[in-house]
Every structure is written in structure tokens, then in C-alpha cells.
């Protein structure tokens, strides 16, 4: 027994125009969600999912957290601080009093989960990276030296 060919339910939302609209929305905002796209285009979430995965060949992956990256300016500031310490170190008494030293960047951050950082990327695209702490405008380098006098 075989079934006769049927036309099935007509595709009304998965049109070339909607595919192009979804492509434009993903280009503008990579971390957007399927529900946001569906609401903006007034089509179903499942249809948007099929357009994104089948027609556009995208996949939603979480970004990889990396501990930190230094900008060229930050690296140059470290060099300047070290040169200043070397100049101060020309006085032998300076080095006699140092027990230990350490430095760290102090900055404000906005924590985000891995899922909040998920992006829609192409099938062969590398995994996007994001800093574990997103640096904001407030940045300070804290250098601490402890001394002890005998």
C-alpha cells in the first residue's frame, strides 16, 4: 500500500523575505534569542528555529570564558611602572626594606552567565571568546609593597 502524494500544509512563514529578515536581525545582534526574533517578525518560534538552523546554517553556542587580556596601552603602563621602580631601586636602601610586592588591576565588572553570552554563529565558525570579567571605564592598577624596619 502506498499513500497518494499530498501537498501538505502550505509554508506561509518560511519565505525568502522572512529568511532575509532573520539573517539581518542576526547580523545586527548575534546574542539575540529566537523568541525575540519571532516577536519582531510576528512568526512562530519554531519557524524561526528552522530558518536559523536549516536555511542559514547557524548554531547557538556559548562563548568561551578567558581570564583576562591586556590591551597595548595596559602593557605599556606596566613597562612604565617597572621603569619607575628600577629608578627608585638605584638607591640600595630601597631594596633593603622590600619584603614582597604584588600588583593587580582593580575594575568594576558586570557578571554574565555563559548562557547570556551565547551567540548564533556559522557551522564552521570558531567558538567566540569573552573575558570572564568585562572591564568597564573604572580601572586602577594597585601595586602593594610591604616593608619592615629592623
Residue 114 cell numbers, joined:
555563559
8-state DSSP, 117: G
For residue range 21-39, list pLDDT tens digits in order.
999 988 888 778 889 999 9
- Round to whole Å and give the CA distance between 8 and 5: 9
DSSP-H helix ranges across the chain: 16-28, 34-41, 45-50, 72-88, 92-96
- Round to whole Å and give the CA distance between 14 and 10: 10
Mean pLDDT of the residues in the chain: 76
For residue range 126-148, list pLDDT tens digits in order.
766 666 554 455 566 677 766 66
For residue range 60-111, list pLDDT tens digits in order.
877 666 666 778 898 899 899 889 888 887 877 776 766 666 777 666 655 5
Amino acid at each position: 500500500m502506498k499513500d497518494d502524494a499530498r501537498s501538505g500544509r502550505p509554508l506561509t512563514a518560511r519565505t525568502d523575505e522572512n529568511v532575509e529578515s532573520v539573517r539581518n536581525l542576526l547580523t545586527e545582534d548575534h546574542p539575540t534569542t529566537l523568541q525575540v526574533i519571532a516577536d519582531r517578525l510576528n512568526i512562530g518560534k519554531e519557524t524561526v528555529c528552522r530558518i536559523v538552523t536549516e536555511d542559514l546554517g547557524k548554531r547557538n553556542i556559548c562563548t568561551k570564558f578567558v581570564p583576562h587580556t591586556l590591551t597595548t596601552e595596559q602593557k605599556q603602563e606596566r613597562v612604565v611602572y617597572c621603569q619607575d621602580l628600577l629608578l627608585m631601586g638605584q638607591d640600595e636602601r630601597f631594596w633593603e626594606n622590600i619584603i614582597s610586592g604584588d600588583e593587580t588591576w582593580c575594575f568594576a565588572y558586570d557578571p554574565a552567565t555563559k548562557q547570556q553570552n551565547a551567540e548564533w554563529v556559522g557551522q564552521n565558525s570558531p567558538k567566540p571568546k569573552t573575558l570572564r570579567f568585562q572591564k568597564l571605564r573604572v580601572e586602577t592598577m594597585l601595586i602593594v609593597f610591604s616593608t619592615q624596619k629592623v
